[in-house]
Structure 1
């Protein structure tokens, strides 16, 4: 059996995204190329990998077991390749970290400055992105650790060290018509327009779920942002859009002129932490960085 490594990566990407289109976009491939890779892999294995339906691609029971084993082996292979490359280049002091844009300045920068003082030869390879992208890169072995909001349900192959609490709030500009009401309820957002991240982002899914639970239609997204809404704060300040903002940002300079909506369902409780892979031996450099993060949080 001659399995191609890129076909394994295609399979894992489709399993993660649930659609060929999204997986191809994430990998930077055309859909026909990815589909051809899946067909090639199914032919080599001798069994179908996905059940194809109107809502996307669902793993067959056999393929689900295959995915679990393959994902672990793929991450280990990625580590072996990286270690060999690092030894060849003499770059064993490279730390690969992913971080959410919200916590780059607050958590990553002070921790790495301290690490840099202790290990001047250390190099940082940094990925700044949203949680879903960071965790996907971590699971593939492209990162040593990721600093972001910890999902309510963490994948079985990951583990997290909590560093701080930082709730996510639904916010509007000060003077927004909603704030003039005697009592604001979630139902009052039925006709609201929103500024939200894309549909694959956990925060967006959280808003959608909360509205559905209340029997309301999905949010009417007027502005969809791919990364962080901070550069678009002026847009929020001069409109009646509803958006999401972390409690820490809301309490700082970037939160001036904005107010959280005053009802319980407008708040999402979150823990922020450092996420690593289970059963993966971190380098001494990565372990020291985790220690510094933990000391800073305490």
Structure 2
């Protein structure tokens, strides 16, 4: 058991850190009714990382500091692509009366996925790379990864807290925000850029699908029972940590992929929450 704890602890702590920022941002995404914007942004970030891995890995393979150079390229290109997506989605919010923002999100996701397939067609391990992009490499998490993620997420959280009234109004009262808030489009872009920073870090360990689950599933579950932000945030953290704990346990005992295990537990918790919500409503009718 001590071996399992020692091996799984970095991955579990990464999940705890992921929950800390993703549950809150997922609540914003859910209120904005752009559910798949996080999936599309994560895919854009993954596309940038894939481009860096494929086209810069060989160039620096024989460089003594190649690992650091490659890591820099991966981080920079990943954020650049995610930031491009953030600009697109912020602009889409200004023309939503004419074009559905969900349509823009779907287009960005489809195109970025197709582009990734094209890039990976030049890679000898394309199938494995795609698997890592979607499912992540959570069990390979090191303590240095946890430390880096913690620092980045704390900075993002500090910015979100400092300007929480503006971001809250944009998500919960969008019509009022666009009429009463100065430079609303600028703040909207700021939110998506912060989102891009978070996703750039997250997908490196968790992958696109697990990041999506951390963002959306806790927000949906808590929305079934409460409208209060603080209550939902605390409950969402509990849901995410519980899913991570059971998912990693299944991964260790059943030799399942860690990301897929946690996502499946998230799904089970959502179903159970839906049943509980139905029973509670039936009881108090």
Q: TM-score range by the shorter chain?
A: under 0.3
Larger RCO (alpha carbons 8 Å, 6+ apart) = 2
Determine which structure has the larger strand proportion and give its number: 1
Scaled by the length of structure 2, what TM-score is found? Answer: 0.22
Determine which structure has the larger helix proportion and give its number: 2
Structure ID, larger Rg? 1
Scaled by the length of structure 1, what TM-score is found? Answer: 0.22
